[in-house]
Amino acid sequence: QRASAIVEGEKAALAAMPQIRARIAQLEAERARTLLLAQQKAAQDKQQACLESRSRLQKITGMVGLNDPCANP
């Protein structure tokens, strides 16, 4: 009986593996998407902080495309 119970448990575990793998893949994709959004927001915040900290002269030269310290590479 014990051996058959072990075999049945192994069968059940093997049957559940595709669903478990799919859920893990979904969670990893969500984590990657969240990380990407956080990186994008951080870059936007950094750009905005740079734009707000520029002097009046830097703003004027930036408008005409000269020596803009906040220009994206």
Question: Per-residue pLDDT tens for 45-72?
Answer: 998 998 888 888 888 877 777 777 777 6
Mean pLDDT of 31-58: 92
The confidence score (pLDDT) of residue 36 equals: 98
How far is residue 42 from each of residues 12, 19, 32, 49, 52, measured CA to CA in Å? 45, 35, 15, 10, 15
Distances (CA, A) of 17 to 2, 22, 30, 47, 52: 23, 8, 20, 45, 52
Is residue 46 included in any domain, yes or no? yes
In a domain, 68, yes or no: no
Domain membership of residue 69 (yes or no) is no
User: What six digits make up the tokens of 59?
Assistant: 């703003």
70 lies in some domain: no
Mean pLDDT of the chain: 90
Least confident of 18-22, 36-40, 65-69: 65-69
The total number of structural domains that make up the chain? 1
Largest Cα separation within the chain, whole Å, is: 85
Domain of 17 in residue numbering reads as 2-63
- Does residue 73 lie in a domain region? no
pLDDT for 18 beyond 80? yes
The residue whose two tokens read 């956080």 is 38
Is residue 54 in a domain? Answer: yes
What is the distance between the alpha carbons of residues 13 and 1, in angstroms, rounded to a whole number?
A: 18
